[in-house]
């Protein structure tokens, strides 16, 4: 399958969500969850209520990230500069999220 959003929009959407995830607003958690779930869906889940915390432009960015990951087949850390390191830091910054946002190892 092919992406529904232009390919150039995927890295821009990732960067937009990184900005929000690194901020301290109501949508920061939602942005972090979308990024982390796109990065490692075996561990992180997208919480629907967190998605709803994103306003219009960030919700659109989140959908572009999900589209790029799902249909473009490009892992998000490979779509941006210094992606592997940035996603590792994001993971550490948000590892305190409730267990309901992560799949149990059991």
Say what the pLDDT of residue 103 is.
53
Output the CA torsion sign for 92, 97, 100, 105: positive
Q: Radius of gyration (Cα) for the chain, nearest Å?
A: 13
**How far are the Cα atoms of 11, 26, 45 from residue 40, in angstroms, in the given order?**
17, 23, 9
Average pLDDT, stretch 81-86?
Answer: 97
The pLDDT of residue 71 is above 70: yes
CA distance 17 to 10: 11
Chain segment 5-62, per-residue pLDDT in tens: 778 899 999 999 999 999 988 899 999 999 999 999 999 988 788 888 999 999 999 9
């Amino acid at each position: 399958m092919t992406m529904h959003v232009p390919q150039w929009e995927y890295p821009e959407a990732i960067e937009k969500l990184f900005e929000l995830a690194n901020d301290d607003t109501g949508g920061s958690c939602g942005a972090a969850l979308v990024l982390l779930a796109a990065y490692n869906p075996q561990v992180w889940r997208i919480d629907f209520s967190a998605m709803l915390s994103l306003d219009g432009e960030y919700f659109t960015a989140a959908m572009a990230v999900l589209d790029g990951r799902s249909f473009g087949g490009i892992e998000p850390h490979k779509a941006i500069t210094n992606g592997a390191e940035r996603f590792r830091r994001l993971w550490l910054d948000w590892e305190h999220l409730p267990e309901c946002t992560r799949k149990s190892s059991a």
